[in-house]
Amino acid sequence: MPVERRRSRKPAAHALAAATGATGAADYDLRVRIRDGESPVFGPGRVALLRAIEATGSISAAARRMGMSYRRAWLLVEAMNHEFREPLVTRHIGGVSGGGAALTPFAQNLAAHYDMLLGDIRSLLDARVPIFDAYLKDGKSVDPDA
């Protein structure tokens, strides 16, 4: 499974923290996984794989870039292509220039909507998380409940 990168607050949150006198110690991790019932179907790892495929034009190159086996990447692509109403990745076999893979417009739209969802959630968190500095031991001395 690919390593998920920690996303810290955006500069707007740091400006808010500075304006409120917060120390900036409070932060958050954000990992959103979309499920179909109990089954996870889309999340940070799968999005990273799609982006690596888009960047490299190849499932095997994407797998190498992410430090996963080709089999694992191929199985994830197959699962995503099966779980959604349209395929996310198209593959072309062999030939003079070798095979390759590309994202479908459906996958590009799906990833864009996922990014918008994360942006909306981050905006909410950026606005609310600085208040937790006041609750931390070394946080600002103003009582947030006053």
pLDDT in tens, 36-85: 999 999 999 999 999 999 999 999 999 999 999 999 999 999 999 999 99
CA dihedral 10→138→18→116, nearest 10 degrees, is 20
Q: What is the CA radius of gyration of the chain?
A: 20
pLDDT range class, residue 95, cuts 50, 70, 90: low
∠99-102-106 over CA atoms, to 5°? Answer: 150
The beta strand positions in 17-88, using DSSP E, are 34-36, 39-42
Residues 6+ apart with CB under 8 A from 63: 52, 69, 70, 72, 73, 74
For residues 90 and 64, what is the distance between their CA atoms, to the nearest angstrom? 19
Query: Is the pTM above the cut of 0.85?
Result: no
Report which of 4, 108, 100, 5 is spatially closest to residue 50, judged by C-alpha positions. Answer: 108
pLDDT reported for residue 3:
37
Q: Taking a C-beta distance cutoff of 8 angstroms, is the pair 31, 128 a contact? A: no
Q: What percent of the chain stands above pLDDT 70?
A: 76
Q: Classify domain 34-128 at the CATH topology level.
A: Arc Repressor Mutant, subunit A (1.10.10)
pLDDT range class, residue 143, cuts 50, 70, 90: low
